Amino acid sequence: MKALLPILFALPLGTPLAAAPAPKYAVAAIPASLREGAHAVIRADDEVVTVKSASRLVHTVHRVVTVLDNAGDDLGRFGVSYDALRTLSYLRGAVYDAEGRLLHQLRAAEIKDEGVGNDGVNFMTDVRVRYADLRQPQGPYTVEFDYEIVSDNTLFYPDFQPQAEEGVAVQAASLRVSTPAALPLRYQERQLPAGLAVGHTTAGSQEVYEWKLADLAAIDDEEAAPPLTDRTPAVVLAPGSFEVQGHAGTAGTWQGLGQWTYDLNAGRDQLPPATVAKVQALTKDLPDARARARRVYELLQGSTRYISVQLGLGGWQTFPASTVASSGYGDCKALSNYTRALLAAAGVPAYQALVGAGSDHADLRADFPSSQFNHVVLCAPLVTAGRPDTLWLECTSQTEAFGYMGSFTGNRHALLLTPEGGKLVATPRYGTAENRRVRRLDLFLDAAGSATATARTLRTGQEQDLYAQLLHELGPPDQKKYIVEHLRLPTFTLTRCNLAATPAGPLPGVVETLALTLPGFAPPSGKRVFINPNLLSRLPALPAQVGERQADLWLPQASLHADTVRLHLPAGFQPENLPAPVQLSTAYGTYATQYATLPDGTIQYIRRLELKRGRLPKTAYQGYLEFRRKINSADKAQVVLVKTES
C-alpha cells in the first residue's frame, strides 16, 4: 500500500496554521487567600449602565467565574430574563479548563429560551428567560458570560452586588454608570470597604460614576446572621426622573413615587351598578365601619381568586375594578383596587399600599426612595370610639384571616398611595403578645417504661403562619406526614393528628391536637426511672463559633412559647428528685422552668421561653450562644422516679 502524504504537504507554502487561543483565567492566578473557604471565585464582574434618556437605559455585563468544586456548580450556568420592556441584545459564553485553555465556545443552539410560568390561568406574563449551562463534570473550571439588556422601564435601575452568595469570593468587580447631566444619578452605597470612594467625572453632557471592588474573601454561613444582601458590598441605583410607556414620574421622594403609581391607576375603580347595589344591601344593617369591612372581605374571598399579571405596563397598572367584578380574578393590584371600590360602596375609605412581601424580604430602605416593592395590599384608616383603628387587608388570599398581615407583609414599611402622593407607613407589628405557642401536654407512663401522650397546642400570630398553610393547602394525610417528619422523638407512633382554625378573633390561630404512643420511653434502671418531661419543646444548642464572628446577630422574630406538662405516674412510683427551677433574663429573651408535685401525685412541669426580635452587634453572639446553651441544658433536665417498697 502506498503511504499517504501528510496533509500539511498539500498546503501552499507560507499558509499559516490556526493558533490556539492564548490561555486566560488560569486557576493558579487566583490568590490563595481568595481560594480559601470558597467554592467559586468571581474573576471579573464588569457592569456598565448607560442612561440614554428618561425612558431608556442599556446594561452590559461581562462576568467570569471560576468554579472550584461541586458546591459552586450552580455558577457554571447562567440565565437572564427579558420582557416587552427589556430587550436582550445578546448572550455569549465560553468555558475554560483549570489552566485557562478554551474548552468550548457557547453556540446559539445551546441557549435555551423559555417563558416563565405562563399558564394563562394562574400566571399571565411576558417575562422570558434565556439560559446556558456550561457546567463541567468536575472542577476547577471557569465560565465567561457576556450579555446586554436594553430597558424601556427606567423605573428600575440595575443594582450592583457581585458577592451575592456565601462561599463565593470576588477577585475584581466594577460598575460604571454614564448618565446625562439633565438626569442626575441617585445612588446609595452599602457595606463598601473602608476608604473606597466613587470616581465621578464629566464628559461633555454626560456624568460618569465608577466603583471598583477587589479581593473580597468568601463569606461563611454563620448562625443567626442577617441576610447576605445586608452583609456584602453593594451600590443601589435609582432614577430621579423616569418614564414607562409614556407615563413620566419622579422617584426622588416617596411622595413623588407614590403619586406616579396613584395617577397610573386613577379612575380604574368604577364598579358595575349591580355590584354596588349588592355591597350596599350586604352592609346596610352594619353601622360599624370595621363590621362593614369584614362583610366586604368575606364577599371578596368567596367570589375571587388570585392570578399574577406581569404584562408590560400591567406590572404596575391594574385591571379595572369592573373587569374583576365580571371575571372574578385578578393580581394583587387588581384585587386590592377592586376591594377598595367595594369598601367605598360600603362607605369605608381605603388606600392601596405598595410593600415588599415575603417572610424573608428585608424591610425597605426608608432613606432611599425607590421602587423596592413586589406586592400591593389595602389599608383602611378607620377610627373606632374616637381612636385610630387602622385596618390592613391581604386581598389575594381566600383563606387569610381578616385584618392579618403575618410574616408575609407584617413588621415592615409600606408606601400608601393617596391622591396627594405616597406616604411611608408601618404595617402591623407582631411581637411576643401576638406570636404565641401555648401547649398543654399530658404524659402517661406505665410501669414497664412505655408511655402515651396527648398534646394540645394553640399557635397564634406568626407562630401559626406555617400551620395555617398546612391546614388550608394540604389534606389530613399530608398534614400528618409533615408533623411526623418534624417531631424530634426517637421512637413513636402518631395515633391522632388534627389541625383546626380557632374562631374569628383579633388574631388568627391554629389548634393542633396530637396523640402518641411511645414504646420504651423511660425504661426502669433498677428501682429508678429517669424522665425528661419536655417531650416536644426542646430548643437545640447552637454550634460554637469557628474563628472570629463576622456578621451581626440577627433575631428576626419575637415569640413566646409556654408549655405545661403533666406527668402521670404509674402505681408504685413517686418522685425522688425534681430539677431545680431555672430563671434566665438576657438581652435576647427570657427563659424559666419550674417543677411541682400536685396533690393528686401528678408532676407538673412549666416552661416559658420569650425570644426578642432585633439586630445586635457581632460581639453579642457569644452571649446568645451561652443563652441557647443554658436553655438546651435545662430542656434536657430529668425527673427521677423511684419505685416504692411494696
356-387 in b/e form (b: 16+ CB < 10 A) is: bbeeebeebeeeebbbbbebbbbbbebeeeee
Quick one: pLDDT band at residue 10, thresholds 50, 70, 90? very low
- Cα 236 off chain centre by: 19
CA distance 461 to 435: 4
User: Can you give the pLDDT at residue 312?
Assistant: 53
pLDDT tens track for 66-104: 999 999 999 999 999 999 899 999 999 999 999 999 999
What does the DSSP 8-state code read for residue 181? T
Q: Fold for domain 253-426? A: C8orf32 fold (3.10.620)
Which among 105, 153, 104 is positioned nearest to 127, based on CA atoms?
153
User: Can you give the pLDDT at residue 7?
Assistant: 29
- The upper half-sphere exposure of residue 149, i.e. CA atoms within 13 Å in the direction of its Cβ, equals 24
pLDDT tens track for 231-250: 999 999 999 999 999 999 99
Beta-sheet strands, E only, within 427-546: 436-445, 451-460, 493-501, 509-518, 528-531
Q: Pick the range with the lowest mean pLDDT from 201-210, 253-262, 382-391, 595-604.
A: 382-391
pLDDT tens track for 409-467: 999 999 999 999 999 999 999 999 999 999 999 999 999 999 999 999 999 999 999 99
Q: What H or E segment, with its residue span, contains residue 332?
A: helix 332-345
Question: Which residues in the chain are classed under CATH 2.60.40.3140?
Answer: 27-238
Structure-block grid coordinates of residue 566:
403533666
Per-chain mean pLDDT for the chain: 93
- The dihedrals phi and psi of 426, each to the nearest 5 degrees, come to -95, 135
What pTM, to 2 d.p., does this model score?
0.91
Q: Which residues contact 589 (CB under 8 A, 6 or more apart)?
A: 609, 610, 611, 612, 627
Tell me the CATH number for domain 27-238. Answer: 2.60.40.3140
**What CATH class does 439-643 carry?**
mainly beta
Question: Which residues in the chain are classed under CATH 2.60.120.1130?
Answer: 439-643
Which among 358, 348, 376 is positioned nearest to 262, based on CA atoms?
376
pLDDT tens track for 167-217: 999 999 999 999 999 999 999 999 999 999 999 999 899 999 999 999 999
In terms of Cβ atoms closer than 10 Å to its own Cβ (0-12, 13-18, 19+), residue 388 is exposed
Residue 179: strand pairing partners: 207
Question: Which residues in the chain are classed under CATH 3.10.620.30?
Answer: 253-426
Quick one: pLDDT band at residue 3, thresholds 50, 70, 90? very low
